[in-house]
Structure 1
Amino acid sequence: MSVTDSLPTIHWTEDGAERSAMWRSEAGLPPPKRVVIADDQTPADTAFRLASEGTALLWRGDFQNARQLLQAMARRVDRKPKKAPKPAASLTEAFHKHRLAQSQRARTLGMLLLPFEAGHVVPLRRAPDVHEACEQVYGQSDTPYVASMRELLGLIGAFEWRKKGIEIPALGERIHPWYGVFSPVRGEYIDLVAKEPLPSGTLAFDIGTGTGVLAALLAQRGVKRVVGTDQDARALGNARANIERLGLTGDVEIIEADLFPEGRAPLVVCNPPWVPARPSSPIEHAVFDPDSRMLRGFLNGLAAHLTPDGQGWLILSDFAEHLGLRTRDELLGWIDAAGLKVLGRSDIRPRHPKAADADDPLFAARKAEMTSLWRLAAK
């Protein structure tokens, strides 16, 4: 069965006839049940009202006008209400309200849809050539389909990042992230790994390697052999491509595994998702970890994969603690229950713009946030 055979179908009526096409959504959203045709004559207020009510708009006008319409819809979504909302009783409530608002925003803006012909061609006036950006995410396509414009713009942005790459000062090189793989734009955790004294230079495991940035950094620091693991197909491809580009294939091996590879190592590193909450799309799994599954899995399996006197480096933000989603006592309890002890901890403050944005609804938590490298060992 091909990928397109497994895609759902979207249905609509156009020119008095029933139409249908394959539906694509990287967020895993089902096809909208109500679809109307929209074009250059569709007012932004009308488009916003229909989208807010759950009616999708399949665009038949000029591509650039569609981009402007999406921007106009976004301004309406982000418009502050005339009556100030009731303040959240706690940061936990503020977080859940913020997540709900983000979800509703994404759902509304995702209602502006584009038609695609075979080969990822957008058959609209002034439409750019997007086949390469789409092919990197969707794969080859010989069938027409429909997808949201917002998702397409995300694919285009990711395509540009993948080409350009992100400069990693601690590495002295660029890392090229793929769509759907956590991008190392927050450099604090990388700096922690770059500065921490290595317990050994022989072997290290990088659990949940993502783009492979930490595996590359460890190899560059002199670790003779690094094994990076991940279970996401895109992350595995991304890490291998970065390692090859950096000329480190002789030092770093990327393998598919749910957390640990076989064997033991004197250094096991893990930078798990920091927020124990449900992701709203597959792309968010790098940030949101329901019930702290990966964090607890790493802790519970760490002692069995450390050599005598080996160290486990857990890189974790305390953002969840400030949001009331996890307590420090819970974390310390999990460490103790896993047969581990804390050897030490290095901390660093975040440098991203939101940490200084007083208008951010979670500013109090972001301002207090600290990212830490916990050095752990078996008891």
Structure 2
Amino acid sequence: MSELPLIHWNEEGDARHARWRSEAGLPPPPKVQVADDTMNADLAYRLACEGTALLWRGDYQNARQLLQAMARRVDRKPKKPRPRPSDAKEAFHQHRQAQARRARILGMLLLPFDAGHHLPLRRAPDVADACEEAYGPAPEPYVASLRELLGLIGAHEWRKKGVEIPALGARIHPHYGVFSPVRGEYIDLVATAPLPAGVVAFDIGTGTGVLAALLAKRGVQRVVATDQDDRALHCARDNLTRLGCAHRVELLNADLFPQGQASLIVCNPPWLPARPSSPVEAAVYDPDSRMLRGFLAGLASHLSAGGEGWLILSDFAEHLGLRTRAELNALFDAAGLKVLGRLDARPRHPKASDPDDPLHAARSKEVTSLWRLAVR
């Protein structure tokens, strides 16, 4: 833990410090005030808005209630309605700004951890397993936000329960920081698209390993699955072992492509060309479409004769004004690719039909596509 920064505060007349943990990569807050059960939500919210973090020394369950009360204040609609955004792109940027502000304020409620991820608070649960999965060992005390801890606990429960994948007839167990395959429509597209002839496939950016497992289940004799994230590779290995297909899938730490060629190359890149605010968001946001551009630019040289590249991509970015269909087609042309066909699916997640969602106008039009690409 020696590479972690220190967070400093004063308590009972003494200057104190501990290691600071933030999965979002945030620096330790410069102003820290000790708080307990006597602090009310209005004061906590005001201090957090002003940039003062609150190091909790009271009851753990009271801290959770305080965080919920602060969230209600963050989410409260302003008395004076804000001007409506002029277009979908502005609505998206306003939404991202609101999300960032919400995360910043709610991230100001901090918890002290002893070595071994123990919470020295009344009525605190045992969070050691959830923290160990995300953080690794904790040989010394540290401080982290309650909001982040709740995310770790939620991820731990998802990892234990898993996500049902009907196309596999089994569950995928996502690890913390690895994108969970809850958007089932893209998996169904891979399950039904006609396979090109050949025995080798590449899965670029494998994540949980769900698409590699699906290709193996569909009869592909050898799958080479790549990812740059060690967490993702560990997660994929765990899932492939559970599903009994680890012997047919080779996992590699690589930036996009492995060496060699394949008759089928599959990629499900992040769908939105925007900067992630934390490493966890890297599966959704791809600055300047780096992964999309890299996949398309290198596809032709890695496809064997008669092979296909399957690009799985939502048009959500197009409806938000972040990318146009003409720009996507231009990327195909520049890479020397042609479109053999396209399979489409409408999203089934709850936000797609929620009129109160700030991005509902774009979400209601979204289509997820599997583009079948070949060398021109």
TM-score, normalization by structure 2: 0.99
The yes-or-no answer on 1:60 pairing with 2:65 is: no
SS of structure 2 residue aligned to 1:255: strand
Aligned to 1:212: 209
Aligned to 2:136: 139
Offset at residue 201 of structure 1 (A) = 4.8
The yes-or-no answer on 1:245 pairing with 2:248 is: no
SS of structure 1 residue aligned to 2:45: helix
The yes-or-no answer on 1:126 pairing with 2:119 is: no
Report the number of matched residues. Answer: 376
Within 5 Å, give how 1:313-324 maps onto structure 2: 313-324=310-321
Offset at residue 97 of structure 1 (A) = 0.4
The yes-or-no answer on 1:229 pairing with 2:226 is: yes
Aligned to 1:35: 32
- Counterpart residue identity of residue 145, structure 1: Y
Aligned to 1:152: 149
Q: Contact 1:13/1:19 (CA < 8 Å) preserved in 2?
A: yes
Q: Distance in 2 between matches of 1:188 and 1:166?
A: 14
1:21 to 18, 21, 24: 18
Aligned to 2:42: 45
Aligned to 1:111: 108
Offset at residue 250 of structure 1 (A) = 1.3
Moved beyond 6 Å, runs of 4+: none
Q: Contact 1:200/1:223 (CA < 8 Å) preserved in 2?
A: no
Q: Distance in 2 between matches of 1:111 and 1:311?
A: 49
Aligned to 2:76: 79
Offset at residue 16 of structure 1 (A) = 1.1
Offset at residue 142 of structure 1 (A) = 1.0
Within 5 Å, give how 1:155-304 maps onto structure 2: 155-304=152-301
Q: Contact 1:296/1:334 (CA < 8 Å) preserved in 2?
A: yes
Q: Distance in 1 between matches of 2:70 and 2:230?
A: 34
Aligned to 1:350: 347
SS of structure 1 residue aligned to 2:280: helix
Aligned to 1:329: 326
Structure 1 gaps of 5+ residues are none
Offset at residue 183 of structure 1 (A) = 0.3
Offset at residue 200 of structure 1 (A) = 2.5
Aligned to 1:363: 360
Offset at residue 39 of structure 1 (A) = 0.5
Q: Contact 1:204/1:266 (CA < 8 Å) preserved in 2?
A: yes
- Counterpart residue identity of residue 330, structure 2: G
CA deviation profile, 1:68-124 (whole Å, cap 9, x unmatched): 000000011111111111000110000000000000000100000000000000000
SS of structure 1 residue aligned to 2:43: helix
- Counterpart residue identity of residue 111, structure 2: L
RMSD over aligned Cα atoms? 0.6
Percent identity between matched residues is 73
Q: Distance in 2 between matches of 1:272 and 1:80?
A: 35
CA deviation profile, 1:10-55 (whole Å, cap 9, x unmatched): 0001111111000000000000000001100100000001011111
Q: Contact 1:236/1:254 (CA < 8 Å) preserved in 2?
A: yes
- Counterpart residue identity of residue 329, structure 2: L
Q: Contact 1:201/1:222 (CA < 8 Å) preserved in 2?
A: no
